[in-house]
Amino acid sequence: MSDKYAPLPEHKFSFGLWTVSNRGRDPFGSEVRPPLAPVDAVKMLAQVGAWGVNLHDNDLVPIDATPAERDRIVKEFKQACDSHGIVVPMATVTLFFDPAFRDGAFTANDPAVRAYALQKTLRAMDIGAELGAKIFVLWGGREGTETDACRRADDAVKRLRHAIDYVCEYSIAKGYGYTFAMEAKPNEPRGDIYMATTGNYLGLIPTLAHPEMVGVNPEVAHEQMAGLNFTHAVAQAWEAGKLFHIDLNDQVPGRYDQDFRFGAANPKSAFFLVKFLEDVGYAGPRHFDAHAYRTENYDGVKDFARGCMRTYLILKEKAARWNADAEIQAIVKEIHEPSMPTPAEATYSPAHLATLLGHTFDRGTLAAKNLPYERLDQLTVEVLLGTR
């Protein structure tokens, strides 16, 4: 493997404990890999050159652990992270696995389930804070329906808002300094999940008590499952100052939730994503929320993890090449130039309004402007295929 693509701490590549420890179970088949203890997962991540590990409360601490067991497990894990030079940038909470959450967690109809979900989240925040995490992800995998007879969807929104406001207050009260990154998904495991897309969360956030503490954690596969352009979702989040975290993986449109290695299915859209993140200077973690094919043993899991990071770095290099390519940049310049004399762009003012309304546009000239997007896309493809 060429050193040019070796992962470095500055790249901030992280993996969920649940990703490299994924044992390959699916709805039609049992586990194919033996359990991997959290401390061994940390060791593996250090071996492949990752920077960070993220975790759910129950990836580390069993749901029925006693307080003493919890303290011992967290302490040992922290020691393993320290000795392997792995950081914990993000923590999250399992609000989808236990049967108690079969009707949702924060949005469940049973107030006792909602309260339990909150309590569990606060305790997960305690674990994350102890490990140094500053980002807390909330993925509402069970917050949804199979039948809308069960509750009014606007009540679900209100319940969700209440829970987010509560956890923000807890972070403030404890001085944890968390930001919260909300992760959308359209369906699976529920028939329909509330907050189906990143855009839904961008609409909810301004209605919260502490909007400044809450952003989004878009996931490649989740937007693509909805048939959407992931880079557009990321760009809107970025432009709103809300790109607090990102889940990188890949997905073939129209399939089940595949969580493939980053770039495995759609290298061209992965390229535009990496180019966007690098062009704007996104400085947060680059988290791979994916897992190895079910065919793999743990050597294959390492291949998977190395592949995620290597593909990211190759695409980063391709993006730099694209930005430096004279022919590409000449086209980019050309397509942004006005086709005819035009009033300068400005915000609304009576003077500008008079100029704009008084200007005569020639629609024929506008329609005739050269837009060589075929050529531009072909050059992009050639950069990707390595002929430029």
Which active-site residues does the annotation give?
A: 56, 59
The verdict on 59 binding ligand GLT (CB under 6 A) reads no
Residues within window 109-148 making contact with ligand GLT, judged by CB under 6 A: 137, 139
Q: Of residues 5, 18, 276, 282, which one binds ligand GLT by CB under 6 A?
A: 18
Whether residue 99 is preceded by a cis peptide bond, meaning omega within 30 degrees of 0, is no
β-partners of residue 145 are 192
150-170 CB burial, b ≥16 within 10 A, e <16? ebeeeebbebbbebbbebbeb
- The 148-187 contact track toward ligand GLT, x by CB under 6 A, reads -----------------------------------x----
* 285's tokens: 């973690």
Choose among ligand GLT, Mn ion, none what residue 59 binds, the Cβ cut-off being 5 to 8 Å by kind.
none
The verdict on 59 binding Mn ion (CB under 5 A) reads no
Choose among Mn ion, ligand GLT, none what residue 137 binds, the Cβ cut-off being 5 to 8 Å by kind.
ligand GLT
The pairing of strands 135-139 and 144-145 is unpaired
Pick from 252, 250, 312: nearest CA to 282: 312
Largest CA distance in the chain: 77
Q: Which segment (219-227, 235-243, 307-315, 352-360) binds Mn ion by CB under 5 A?
A: 219-227
Residue 252 CB partners (closer than 8 Å, separation 6+): 258, 260, 265, 266
Instruction: Report the distance separating Cα 336 and Cα 369, nearest Å.
Output: 11
Closest CB 195 distance from ligand GLT, rounded Å: 13
The verdict on 250 binding Mn ion (CB under 5 A) reads no
Report, in this order, helix, strand and coil percent for the chain, each rounded to 5.
50, 10, 40
Q: Of residues 219, 242, 290, 379, which one binds ligand GLT by CB under 6 A?
A: 219
Nearer to ligand GLT, 137 or 163 (CB): 137
Q: Of residues 237, 247, 315, 380, which one binds Mn ion by CB under 5 A?
A: 247
